[in-house]
Chain A
Amino acid sequence: MKYKIFTNTIKTTKAMSKKSIVIILAIVIAFTACNTKQSEETETTSTEQSNQLYACPMHPEVTGKKGDKCSKCGMELTELVKSETVVQSTTEPATIESTTKVSIKEIVGAYLQLKNTLTKDNSKDAATTAKAFIAAFKNFDKSAFTSEQKKTFDDIESDAKEHAEHIGANAGKIEHQREHFDMLSKDIYDLVKAFGAGQTLYKDFCPMYNDGKGATWLSETKEIKNPYYGKSMLTCGSMKEELK
Chain B
Amino acid sequence: MKYLKKILLAFIILFIGIQFIIPVRNESEQVLSIDISKTFNVPDSVLSVLKISCYDCHSNNTNYPWYSNIQPVAWLLDSDVKNGKDKLNFSEFGSYTKRRQQSKLRSIISQIQDNKMPISNYTIMHKNAVLTTRNKTLITSWLNKTRESLSILN
Contacts and interface: CB of A to CB of B under 8 A. Distances in A.
Interface of A: 2, 5-6, 8-10, 15, 18-19, 22-23, 25-27, 30, 155-156, 158-159, 162-163, 179, 183, 187
A19 B6 CA distance: 6
Contacts of B17: 27
B99 A155 contact: yes
Interface in B1-48: 2, 4-14, 17-18
B123 interface: no
Given A9-B5, A27-B17, A155-B97, A162 B103 contact: yes
Given A15-B6, A22-B7, A159-B99, A6 B14 contact: no
A176 B99 CA distance: 19
Given A6-B8, A9-B8, A19-B6, A159 B13 contact: no
Interface of B: 2, 4-14, 17-18, 97, 99-100, 103, 106-107, 110
A27 B5 CA distance: 17
Contacts of A155: 97, 99-100
State the main secondary structure of chain A at its contact with B: helix
B14 A159 contact: no
Q: Which 5 A-B pairs have the closest CB atoms?
A: A9-B5, A22-B10, A159-B99, A155-B97, A23-B10
Contact of A183 (B5, B7, B106): B106
Contacts of A15: 2, 6
Contacts of A8: 5
Contacts of A179: 107, 110
Given A27-B17, A179-B110, A183-B106, A156 B99 contact: yes
Given A22-B9, A158-B97, 14 more contacts: A8-B5, A9-B5, A10-B9, A15-B6, A18-B6, A19-B6, A30-B14, A155-B97, A158-B100, A159-B99, A159-B103, A163-B103, A183-B103, A187-B99
Contacts of A19: 6, 9-10
A37 to B, nearest CB: 11
Nearest to A156: B99
16 contacts: A2-B8, A6-B12, A9-B8, A15-B2, A15-B6, A23-B9, A23-B10, A23-B14, A26-B10, A26-B11, A27-B14, A155-B97, A158-B99, A159-B99, A159-B100, A183-B103
